[in-house]
Amino acid sequence: MNETQELRIVVVGLGYVGVTAAACLSSQGHEVFGVDINEAKVAALNEGHSPIVEPGVAELVGAAVSRGKLQASSTLPDLDTYDLAIVCVGTPSAADGSHNMTFIAESARQIATAAARTSTPLTVAFRSTFRPGTMENLIEPIFLEAIGSNFAEQVELVYNPEFLRESTAVADYFAPPKIVVGTSQGRHSETMAILHDGIAAPIFETGFREAEITKFIDNSWHAVKVAFANEVGRVCAAYDVDASVAHEIFVSDTKLNISPYYTRPGGAFGGSCLPKDVRAMQSIARSAAVEAQLLNSLLETNASHKSFQLNRVLSSVNPGGRVLLVGLAFKAGTDDMRESPNVDLAAGLLERGYQVRIVDPFVRTSSLVGQNLGQVMTELPNLRSLLIDEKDVDNRDFDLIVLNSAPSNALELDAARVLDLRRIATSATDPTRTREHEA
């Protein structure tokens, strides 16, 4: 590794992402070599011209080429003298909606073949967007075949997504919302640390798959926000409501509306407000003949999530098993049973012949009244016999303990038998694999 903290970098793919990266990296003092099969792009860059139109990029390219910090070719250079290769080739949509991985595979093969002839360590970072599992199932096997079983001693593979917006790409490069570095087992990459040195942003060092899915989550969420805003706008127009004023009120709430609070994967929504008001909003839209497909899908997708949670329990315990549910109310610390997904879960297990008991210190059948009482008794008519006190819980009595809410300190649970439905994780998830820190 260079002692000056300046890297020698190959950027493969001189499209929008690649040219922006090459321009910004060379402006930081790194020596950059761009590679693209398009001879016109290569010629333009070598002449100091940007192959793309993006504010600020042309100036950076021109300055870098004049200083000898940026050049390009249609073929890879000798990688023995480089620290890092960044792959930014395209992943266009295939006919079935998936990504066409032709350019990714070919770039990986060329780099792996070249790296097999080198004697110095090389970091290869992919920035192209592709599905989770690609690094492990496509990229790693290519390097394994070209270099051998010990390829990881010579080549460090990284997935490092970019977060650039057109028209503000240069500013976004130097001030990104976050930096995500995915490696095998979430190991720290010193090369990537040098690459991002001086950029102030939250840094997430994680495994390949978590890094790979980041852009899909981000872009799907952005699409949801746009679709939601436009559906609401159509409803507002139908009722002579000033949508700009409604929007101003909406985004002013950063405690709930614009916050991480409702975007944590976990339990389904329920309670007295969300289901009721979503139905009402759907009715409002229908009454005005407004097409609102996103709004109309909310209750359906919530029902799907309830089924998903039930199946998580069913797959964790044998048929007819003994299950303890910790938490029954819609929200911990209350006795609100109205449309509680936890009630649906209990009913689903009982219907399938499981032996269910429930611990919720805030739920007392004697104090339930009105709609709160009516809804829960409709689904769980024998609720009184299902509820047990915390002090009566014996781990040996249960095959599985399901957490719908946090257990109290008085409740001692056997961790090996616990399934936490408040979060969605795989058996391979290890909290120590993800580290977040400020740059």
pLDDT in tens, 124-159: 999 999 999 999 999 999 999 999 999 999 999 999
70 band by pLDDT with thresholds 50, 70 and 90: very high
Stated pTM of the model: 0.82
| Predicted pLDDT at 426 | 60
For the domain covering 8-212, report its CATH number.
Answer: 3.40.50.720
Burial string for 268-305 (b: 16+ CB within 10 Å, else e) reads bbbbbebbeebeebbeebeeeebebebbeebeeebeeb
What is the rounded average pLDDT for all residues in the chain?
Answer: 91
CB 382 within 8 A of CB 345: no
Name residues whose C-beta falls within 8 Å of residue 143's C-beta, 6 or more positions apart in sequence: 108, 112, 115, 124, 151, 155, 157
What is the pLDDT, as a whole number, of residue 438? 37
For CATH 3.40.50.720, list the domain ranges present in the chain.
8-212, 218-304, 311-420
More confident site: 103 or 333:
103
> Spelled out in words, what is the top-level CATH class assigned to the domain 311-420?
alpha beta
Residue range 387-414: mean pLDDT, rounded? 89
Give the Cβ contact number of residue 432 at 10 Å.
6
CB distance 434 to 202 below 8 Å:
no
In this predicted structure, what is the pLDDT of residue 367? 79
State phi, psi for 72 to the nearest 5 degrees.
Answer: -145, 160
273 is a catalytic site residue: yes
| Spatial separation of the C-alpha atoms in residues 362 and 332, rounded to whole Å | 8
Tell me the fold of 218-304: Rossmann fold (3.40.50)
Summarize pLDDT for 17-27 with one digit per residue, the tens. Answer: 999 999 999 99
User: How far is it, in rounded angstroms, from Cα 329 to Cα 210?
Assistant: 32
Question: Minimum mean pLDDT among 69-78, 89-98, 248-257, 311-320: which range?
Answer: 89-98
Give me the catalytic one of 24, 88, 236, 273: 273
Give the single-character DSSP code of 408: P
Q: Which residues are CB-neighbours of 27 under 8 A, at least 6 positions away?
A: 60, 63, 64, 69
Q: Are the C-beta atoms of 315 and 349 separated by less than 8 Å? A: no
Categorise residue 28: left if φ over 0, alpha if ψ from -120 to 50, beta otherwise. alpha
